Amino acid sequence: MFMTSYKTCIIVLTDVNTKVGLFYVNSSLFQVGIFRFRMTSYFVHFLFLWSLSVMGSAEPAGCKIRITDRGLDMLKYETQKFVEEELSNISMPEMKGEEGRFQYTITDVKITELNLTHADLRFIPDVGLLFDVQNSSISLTFNRRILYWFFYDTGNINASAEGVNINTALNLIRDEEGRLKINNITCDAKISKMSAKFSGTLGRVYGFLARFLTTGMRFLLNQKICPALDHAALVLVNSLLETIPVRTEVDQFIGIDYSLISDPVVTSRSLDMHFRGMFFDLSHQNISLVNYAVEPVIKEYDRMVYLALSEFFFDSGLFSYYTAGVFQMHIVNEKMPKDLEMLLRTTYFGFIMMLNPALVDAPLSLQLAVNSPPKTSIKTSGATVVMTAIVNVMVLPPGQPPVQLSSMTMETKFNAKVSMRGKRLSVHADLRRFKIFSNQSALESLAGFIVIGANLHFSKGLREMVVGSSEMEQQTANSTATTSTA
């Protein structure tokens, strides 16, 4: 028999000899109390691990993002530009040697141009991304110093590498804090041929050295490409990803947790990321809403990116604002519109006269407080928000305690429209209907998720973001050092 609850898990096991083992598992502390146990250890260990995996994998995503192969078309350009910039910074060692009567020294090797014309970026199912470069070229320059018998010559050499093929696979995972991370990189780089053209007084005489020098240069360049890309991915890009917060403030009342709850799901057509998508009250961050909503499902591939939000995403936000005490309103004195004050005085005039005629000119107040967390409902016909509130009408005699004129329950239902405006997710709510009822009131007569598709454009290149991230980290380090010194 297997019984579970959100916070705890109780397992009752009975063997063939009716010897009972009872376990109590606390999911937050992962502690086991054995009340009575006479079972084989391997069987119990298996069920114990299985029960923890059930609890760990039970959390559905509140938010999903899909990047399609159309989105990769745009990302390919940024990736290609980033790779070109990183390869341009490759540093080559000084080369010295002898060939017959020639003694040579090669210095100041610089990559002047990369022509990655045949580059492709695509998904690798169950792995991540593949950046593939085929039949491209690299142009280089380097200086020579050559001694031949008693002749000494210096000059510049222009070289070009043809048939450049680079195959780089990135494995994407979720790190311990819920961020996207490049776990490892596999790289294979090959240069088919390399040629060099000498300049200077004895340029034609040294032509026969070109094959010898370019063979060594091609070997060294082959050895430098993959380490440069490894550093770019595992150090620079991962450093940028580490600066992305997974819990952040939305305003002075609530924050949001958008950490990944699992590794990305990669197919031949898309990359799906599953986020927690949960808001929380900043003053009570340990109080959260349990996610019982339907998990979002994205079926489309036509646009570059899709954002899917479950009912839990919106409910957790409303719940957090509710626990933060935002859904309360006290309208009194200058805050009360004149037409509302006139309506209240006209409605309650007779009641006030029966209660105490001296209170006719006393100020009135309207207190509204939501008495339970609002609830979102998403169906194919649209999204709605249901909210229940208590409305109290009070008269405020000067120097005396307030006198309650009426207490009413108000049930409201809003139509909600969700859209993306730039970088902001916008929700527009229209009041669909409301009902007010009270036994004492004088006014008594009065689909489970959303999917948003969009196309993208870059406002900054990947290299700019990496450099900006590094500068920000350096400024933070300098600030910290200055503070600690002071």
Rounded to 10°, the helix 69-88/462-485 angle is 60
443 vs 391: CA distance, rounded Å: 11
Residue 217: enclosing H or E segment and its boundaries? helix 209-231
CATH of domain 69-198: 3.15.10.10
Looking at residue 475, what DSSP letter applies? H
Q: In CATH, what is the architecture of 327-468?
A: Super Roll (3.15)
Q: Where exactly are the structural domains of the chain?
A: 69-198, 327-468
SS (H, E, C) 231-262: HHHHHHHHHHHHCCCCEEECCCCEEEECCECC
Classify 160 as helix, strand or coil: strand
Rounded to 5°, the CA angle 478-482-486 comes to 170
User: In the prediction, which pLDDT does 459 show?
Assistant: 58
264 vs 181: CA distance, rounded Å: 10
Longest alpha-carbon distance in the chain: 124
Tell whether omega for the bond before 468 is within 30 degrees of 0, i.e. cis: no
8 vs 376: CA distance, rounded Å: 27
pLDDT tens string, the chain, 486 residues long: the values are 333 333 333 333 333 333 333 333 333 333 333 333 333 343 334 334 444 444 445 589 999 999 999 999 888 988 999 999 999 888 888 888 777 777 888 888 888 888 888 899 999 999 999 999 999 999 988 887 878 777 777 778 888 899 999 999 999 999 999 999 999 999 999 999 888 876 655 556 666 667 777 888 888 888 999 999 999 999 999 999 999 999 999 999 999 999 999 999 999 999 999 999 999 999 988 888 899 998 999 999 999 999 999 999 999 999 999 999 999 988 988 888 888 888 888 888 888 888 888 888 899 999 999 999 999 988 887 888 898 999 999 999 988 899 988 888 888 888 877 777 776 777 777 766 667 666 554 444 337 667 766 665 555 655 566 666 666 656 554 443 332 223
The encoded tokens of residue 379 equal 């169906």
Instruction: Specify whether the CB–CB gap between 14 and 37 falls below 8 A.
Output: no
DSSP letters, 49-105, are: HHHHHHHHT-PPPSEEEEEEHHHHHHHHHHHHHHHHHHHHT-----EEEEETTEEEE
Instruction: Specify whether the CB–CB gap between 306 and 298 falls below 8 A.
Output: yes
84 vs 241: CA distance, rounded Å: 20
Which pTM value belongs to this model?
Answer: 0.73
The encoded tokens of residue 413 equal 């239902």
Q: Counting runs of H as helices and runs of E as strands, what totals does the chain give?
A: 7, 24
Distances in Å between the alpha carbon of 480 and those of 413, 472, 476? 50, 12, 6
**Which residues fall within 8 angstroms of residue 357, CB to CB, at 6 or more apart?**
none
Specify the residue for token string 């933060």. Answer: 324
**How many Cβ atoms from other residues are within 10 Å of residue 393's Cβ?**
21
